[in-house]
């Protein structure tokens, strides 16, 4: 019992030290900002914040032994003291900002968290708090540059993602149980997010670097969504078609290493079979993407306007509708033709998505399905998905985009197919 008591006390002491240090992190930032103020003219500096963090830790310890109400009572006392100090300071400097008072309250809460089993969360929150406080000018500058329709687009994105998405049922409905509202709306959110990220990446970093960043981001999530968005964008900004072409190829190429990472978790034997095919298909896309990007000299786009909304919600909704129809059609064909084989299913699944069929075949390859058959099915799905994206570019994008993307994507599929035949 004595040993256990010693361990508990030692753990508590360490947590209190963490609470003190977290207060010091926030206090260092606040003290640095007010470093030129005369002594005694600041509501709180590094010492006060450190002590407030320690106060939160001590109250948290007492609350565990006596009553959680102590945390609330101590917080009320702290708020009263901070408000009194704020009123006195405001009369002297006419500064009405309450950032310092709020920071003290946050520091107190961080100290409480540090001793109640949430030390990692408290440390993360302390660092984020210090960063937010330290970037006051940058945040205010960004707000001054933010247009009203850009703020409206951000709020709409939050509405369709954080509010609406969790409310949708994540289960199958309709004929053949083909329609999953959550999955369909998730694709709508994903496409809208790519449009939103791409808009601000281009606005902040310029067309060349912005498109590069957006393409890598989309390649890790949905290269199909990016292909759709960039194809539409090429119609609006024909001068950007070379950059958009390089972005589409980069995003589509990133799909292949992502595929290997997913398969490596399920069945490493699949990776051994597929990596040469994946590598050649990736290089066939990456090398032209790099060349086109290097040769492009567009560094600006027209100023955004209300007709060029950063969210592109209409395109996202349109794609969501098309996705629902394709999901329904693929299930219908599978039901009508019966179990005609993994390869037909792979081709149908590849029309909409590669990850779903890859996960399914990866699991089945560890449960009796031939690894070679699974690998061929995954290759067919990836090839079909690439052809579908090529079709998007040819049907939606402008001619210059089609000339640069179409032949490369066709060559990607051909190179992978030839290598698969040669090897297997």
CA atoms within 13 A on the CB side of 358: 28
Query: Is residue 304 pLDDT above 50, yes or no?
Result: no
Model confidence at 300, pLDDT cuts 50, 70, 90, reads: very low
* CA 305 to centroid of chain Cα atoms: 25
What is residue 133's predicted lDDT score, i.e. its pLDDT? 83
Is residue 281 within 8 Å of residue 382, measured between CB atoms? yes
Model confidence at 117, pLDDT cuts 50, 70, 90, reads: confident
The partner residues of 199 in beta bridges, in order of sequence, read: none
Model confidence at 346, pLDDT cuts 50, 70, 90, reads: confident
Instruction: Count Cβ atoms within 10 A of the Cβ of residue 260 and give its class: 0-12 exposed, 13-18 middle, 19 or more buried.
Output: middle
Spell out the residues 6+ positions from residue 415 whose beta carbon is closer than 8 angstroms to its own.
Answer: 280, 281, 284
Q: What is the pLDDT of residues 1-47, one digit of tens each?
A: 454 554 556 777 888 888 899 988 888 887 777 666 665 555 567 88
Query: Is residue 345 pLDDT above 80, yes or no?
Result: no
Model confidence at 284, pLDDT cuts 50, 70, 90, reads: very high
- Main-chain dihedrals φ then ψ at residue 308, nearest 5 degrees: -115, 65
What is residue 306's predicted lDDT score, i.e. its pLDDT? 42
Best-predicted range by mean pLDDT (33-47, 50-64, 86-100, 348-362): 50-64
Nearest to 397 by CA among 201, 170, 233, 212: 233
328 compared with 82, residue with greater pLDDT: 82
Q: What is the pLDDT of residues 120-146, one digit of tens each?
A: 888 888 888 888 888 777 766 766 776
Query: Is residue 286 pLDDT above 90, yes or no?
Result: yes
What percent of the chain stands above pLDDT 70? 78
Q: Return contacts of 128-131, CB within 8 angstroms, 24+ apart.
A: 129/26, 129/103, 130/25, 130/26, 130/28, 130/29
Model confidence at 316, pLDDT cuts 50, 70, 90, reads: confident
Q: What is the pLDDT of residues 74-87, one digit of tens each?
A: 889 888 888 887 77
Is residue 408 within 8 Å of residue 288, measured between CB atoms? yes
Query: Is residue 324 pLDDT above 70, yes or no?
Result: yes
Question: In angstroms, rounded to a whole number, what is the distance separating the alpha carbons of residues 225 and 228?
Answer: 5
Query: Mean pLDDT over all residues of the chain?
Result: 79
Model confidence at 295, pLDDT cuts 50, 70, 90, reads: confident
Model confidence at 367, pLDDT cuts 50, 70, 90, reads: low
Q: What is the pLDDT of residues 232-270, one digit of tens each?
A: 888 888 888 888 899 899 989 988 887 887 788 778 888
Spell out the residues 6+ positions from residue 8 whose beta carbon is closer than 8 angstroms to its own.
Answer: none
Compute the average pLDDT of residues 411-422.
91
């Amino acid at each position: 019992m004595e040993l256990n008591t010693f361990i508990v006390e030692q753990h508590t002491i360490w947590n209190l030290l963490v609470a003190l240090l977290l207060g010091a992190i926030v206090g260092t930032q606040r003290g640095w900002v007010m470093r030129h103020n005369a002594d005694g003219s600041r509501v709180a500096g590094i010492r006060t914040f450190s002590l407030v963090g320690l106060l939160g830790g001590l109250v948290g310890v007492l609350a565990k032994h006596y009553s959680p109400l102590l945390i609330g009572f101590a917080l009320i006392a702290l708020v009263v003291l901070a408000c009194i100090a704020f009123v006195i300071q405001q009369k002297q400097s006419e500064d009405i900002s309450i950032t310092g008072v709020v920071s003290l309250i946050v520091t107190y809460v961080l100290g409480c968290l540090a001793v109640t089993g949430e030390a990692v969360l408290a440390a993360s929150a302390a660092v984020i708090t210090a960063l937010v406080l330290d970037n006051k000018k940058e945040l205010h500058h960004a707000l001054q540059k933010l247009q009203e329709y850009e703020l409206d687009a951000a709020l709409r994105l939050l509405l369709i993602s954080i509010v609406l998405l969790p409310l949708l049922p994540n289960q199958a409905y309709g004929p053949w149980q083909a329609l999953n509202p959550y999955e369909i709306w998730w694709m709508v959110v994903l496409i809208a997010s790519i449009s939103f990220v791409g808009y601000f990446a281009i606005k902040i970093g310029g067309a060349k670097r912005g498109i590069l960043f957006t393409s890598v981001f989309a390649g890790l999530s949905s290269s199909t969504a990016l292909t759709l968005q960039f194809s539409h964008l090429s119609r609006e900004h024909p001068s950007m078609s070379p950059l958009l072409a390089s972005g589409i190829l980069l995003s589509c190429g990133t799909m292949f290493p992502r595929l290997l990472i997913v398969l490596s978790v399920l069945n490493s034997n699949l990776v051994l079979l597929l990596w040469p095919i994946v590598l050649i298909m990736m290089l066939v896309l990456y090398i032209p993407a790099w060349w086109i990007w290097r040769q492009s000299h567009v560094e600006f786009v027209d100023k955004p306007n209300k007709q060029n909304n950063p969210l592109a919600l209409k395109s996202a909704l349109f794609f969501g509708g098309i996705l629902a129809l394709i999901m329904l059609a693929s299930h219908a064909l599978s039901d009508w033709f019966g179990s005609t084989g993994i390869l037909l299913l792979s081709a149908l699944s590849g029309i909409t998505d590669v990850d779903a069929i890859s996960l399914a075949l990866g699991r089945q390859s560890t449960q009796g399905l031939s690894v070679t058959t699974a690998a061929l099915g995954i290759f067919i799905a990836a090839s079909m998905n690439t052809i579908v994206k090529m079709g998007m570019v040819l049907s939606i994008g402008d001619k210059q985009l089609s000339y640069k993307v179409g032949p490369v994507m066709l060559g990607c599929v051909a190179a992978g197919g030839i290598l698969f035949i040669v090897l297997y």
